[in-house]
Amino acid sequence: MPRLAANLSTMFTEVPLRQRWAAAAAAGFAGVECQFPYAVPAAEIAAGLRDLRLQQVLINTPPGEQAGDRGLAGQPQRLAEFRAGLQQAVDYAVAIACPRIHVMAGLRPPHCPVELAMDQFVSNLVEAAQLCAPHGITALIEPINTRVDVPGYLLHSTADALECLRRAAQPNLRLQYDVYHMQIMEGDLLRSLTRLLPHIGHIQIADNPGRHEPGSGEINYSFLLPQLDALGYDGWVGCEYQPSTTTQASLGWARELLNQKARGAV
């Protein structure tokens, strides 16, 4: 069965960010994600990961410093800011032994033709992948739904994501497949996962509607999760959901998986 990683940006929010690594470990997770860990010093995170025998499996590039920013990789006028954030992400990933960085495309800039924004995105992906490569880090891109969560997000379809991968042509650049976003935008999840598996470097889950825990909505995770094994996916599955009540109360669906997984798996 899949290896589950708790997303510390959406789960265990009952406690401050610094305490969420320990909370995830206590709940039985062997892996964790964090969208933006930058408020906590990397050395502190690294020490906690060692003490707790946790693997940090994913972080994001910084979203940007302006209100409403959702990433900068597709914004031609903010190249210097993107590069600074990318370097910060790589420095963090190296310090905490995190093997994946989601390079956030961000919103399409106002009055910027989509073609120009996509050209900038692809150029920045090449730079990001090449910066990550010497450290054994995989750069990821994620289509995000524009119907519910992030109107105006530049990258919102798997077709566009595959075209970006083709154009960038970097061996350590992969697709981050978020089941929640893809259910909203494209559906047909098992066929989609089967078709895209050769390009997938990471999977995330949440139910729809509401982006709550599996079992709270319309996605049949009791069917879908075992299919990942059948497809041969051996990576992490990030639980990027917002608990409908408390995090502990939301974990019923995962108890068996967490109990089956040996701590310290990578």
Catalytic residue among 33, 127, 213, 240: 240
Under 8 Å CB-to-CB from 24, ≥6 apart: which residues? Answer: 6, 8, 11, 12, 32, 54
Residue position matching structure tokens 């032994």: 97
Does 186 qualify as catalytic in the annotation? no
Residue at 21: amino acid letter: W
Catalytic residue among 33, 127, 142, 213: 142
Contact (CB, 8 A) for 123 and 73: no
CA distances from 123 to 75, 107, 127, 170 (A): 11, 16, 7, 11
Selection from 64, 2, 55 nearest residue 30 by Cα = 55
Contact (CB, 8 A) for 3 and 55: no
Burial of 210-241, coded b for 16+ CB within 10 Å and e otherwise, reads: ebbbbebbebebeebbebbeeeebebbbbbbb
Does 33 qualify as catalytic in the annotation? no
User: Tell me, what DSSP letter sits at residue 207?
Assistant: -
Catalytic positions are 142, 240
